[in-house]
Amino acid sequence: MKKVCIYDTTLRDGSQSEGISFSVKDKIRIAQKLDELGVDFIEGGWPGSNPKDNEFFAEAAKNLKLKKAKLVAFGSTRRAGAPTATDVVIKGLLKAKTKYLTIFGKSWDLHVKQILKTTLKENLKMIEDSIRYLKKKGRHVFFDAEHFFDGYKDNAEYALETLKAAASGGAEAIILCDTNGGAITSRIFEVVEEVSEIIKVPLGIHVHNDADMAVANSVAAVQAGCSQVQGTFNGYGERCGNANLVSIMPTLKFKLGMDCLSEFAFKELTEASMYISEISNVRRQDSQAYVGKSAFAHKAGVHVNAILKNSKSYEHIDPSKVGNERRMLISELSGRSSIIDKAGEFGLKIDKGTDKAKKILSYVQDLEKEGYQFELAEASLLLLMRKAASVFKRHFEMVDFRVIVEKREEGGIVSEATLKLKIGKEFRHTVSLGDGPVHALDQALRKSLIEFYPSLKEMHLSDFRVRVLDEKSGTAAKVRVLIQSQDKTDSWWTVGVSENIIEACWAALRDSIEYKFMKDDA
């Protein structure tokens, strides 16, 4: 079984993603999570380039205790014409006190001439001198051949000379970089094969995702001979991002049978992806391969029917292998098998021999035609199922309500809701003010119910979303309102749809509270 080293650069390359800014504490926490998962190398940043990275390496030297992974400091070769021993970047790398270092150098003659503005010969010396000096200082050194694939295309002979200079200096691995992210997969494979015939130092791959091929390119490079893969978690990185290790690693393991992480570690992959996403403050893509919420979600009735018979029919891998789970979605595309299975998830038994599944499916199809969507709002879906199965207990009924929004000359805007409810055999008529019409309605609803259901005190709204369903209708368009509520133990989503946003909000609010009461009754 081929061993592939996993080199994570989330803390350095990933931090260059638009919208991401890690604190030192963030970087420590991510490094610990990556170590727990079992990656081989963690690139911590570029010491000397900014105060935060300097602080991180100082903190890591004192308090970061890694069990498996090796912490790596990143930097460049010495500057043109500068003595290696006194070069600022080289001194910064040594100051980081990591045993492993990665330095990058130019392998594209365009960059040497037009960006560095030095000679091709001097660039070769910069690469070899820097690596040799760092090796003499007792460091393990990897060399990132920046822009290698572009350089190889324009001037293959010189691009190879840069790799030979790195090998001569003592680089322990040479990483071929598609820095602009524009190479295609077949070309990556060809070039790696050609280079591996000439360069006998272990090769690695580092690609960007500007042509949306980074994962495929990384896998192809490994198949062609690379033994180290560099990338980031969730594909974070500058421009369109780096190669996504979350997709690469299970592909290497489960599709190609290569050794990169243990099967036990892979069961934590989805959780690790979510954890790093939370720290990065970046919303995860539901459609992300392997670990996304929708990666093993089935909606079409034909698919669900087949999945229930044999999961291999519509799943390329068992979701539990990567710590994910199968989800059956209910929509107008569903079949009776989907309804029965989803009801079972809710603890609601529906026999195949009855017409209840057909009745629920008909309800769902009619409501989704009106704009409802139950994939996220499963609390509303459960209430609908219980109504169709004649096991729903109604805790209150709305008789009527009125919401007034008034702009006063002094005091700003005031929202007032008047609500009349029937609770059992009693009626409650309440009036409440709120920060807005929905808040006022929610307050009036709570004021009416709290006497009968004190547990309502522990429930609160945690998210609120409005979607215009027909933008061509302008302000007369139908809207879909999604509300997330939570209590001490759980959170749930409900949905309402109407041309009147207050009516849509009422439907979602009503379901959110009915779901809470149903939970309390269980």
384-409 tens-digit pLDDT:
888 877 788 899 999 999 999 888 77
* Mean pLDDT to the nearest integer, 277-299: 85
- Cα–chain center distance at 87: 39
Distance CA 385, CA 341 (A): 12
| pLDDT tens per residue, range 16-42 | 999 899 999 999 999 999 999 999 999
**Confidence at residue 231, expressed as pLDDT on a 0 to 100 scale:** 98
Task: Tell me the CA distances in angstroms from 202 to 56, 205, 224, 256, 451, one per residue in order.
Answer: 29, 11, 12, 20, 72
Ordered DSSP codes for 108-127: SHHHIIIII-S-HHHHHHHH
CB-count burial class (<10 Å; 0-12, 13-18, 19+) for 229: buried
Mean pLDDT of the region 181-206: 97
Where do the CATH 3.20.20.70 domains begin and end in the chain? 5-261
Q: Decide if pLDDT at 472 tops 70.
A: no
* Spatial separation of the C-alpha atoms in residues 406 and 413, rounded to whole Å: 6
The mean of the pLDDT values for the chain is: 90
The whole-number pLDDT of residue 64 equals: 93
Q: How confident is the model at residue 462 (pLDDT cuts 50, 70, 90)?
A: confident
How far apart CA 345 and CA 273 sit, in angstroms, is 25
Pairwise CA distance, residues 212 & 209, whole Å: 5
Tell me where in the chain the CATH 3.30.160 domain(s) lie.
Answer: 396-452
58-99 pLDDT, tens digit each: 999 999 999 999 999 999 999 999 899 999 999 999 999 999
Angle CA(270)–CA(272)–CA(277) in degrees, nearest 5?
A: 95
Q: For 229-280, how does the pLDDT look when each residue is reduced to its tens digit (9 = 90+)?
A: 999 999 999 999 999 999 999 999 999 999 999 999 999 999 999 889 888 8
Over residues 167-195, the mean pLDDT reads: 97
Q: What is the dihedral of CA 516, 517, 520, 522, to 10 degrees?
A: -110
Check residue 342 and give its pLDDT: 74
CATH class of 5-261: alpha beta
Report the range of poorest mean pLDDT among 14-23, 148-157, 166-175, 309-318: 309-318
- Tell me, what's the pLDDT at 248? 98
Topology of 396-452 in CATH?
Answer: Double Stranded RNA Binding Domain (3.30.160)
Q: Which of 200, 201, 197, 111 is nearest to 149 (CA)?
A: 111
Q: What is the percent of the chain with per-residue pLDDT over 90, rounded to a whole number?
A: 64
Provide the pLDDT confidence category of residue 301 given band limits of 50, 70 and 90: low
For 328-340, the pLDDT digits (tens) are: 666 555 566 667 7
Q: Which two tokens stand for residue 365?
A: 């199809």
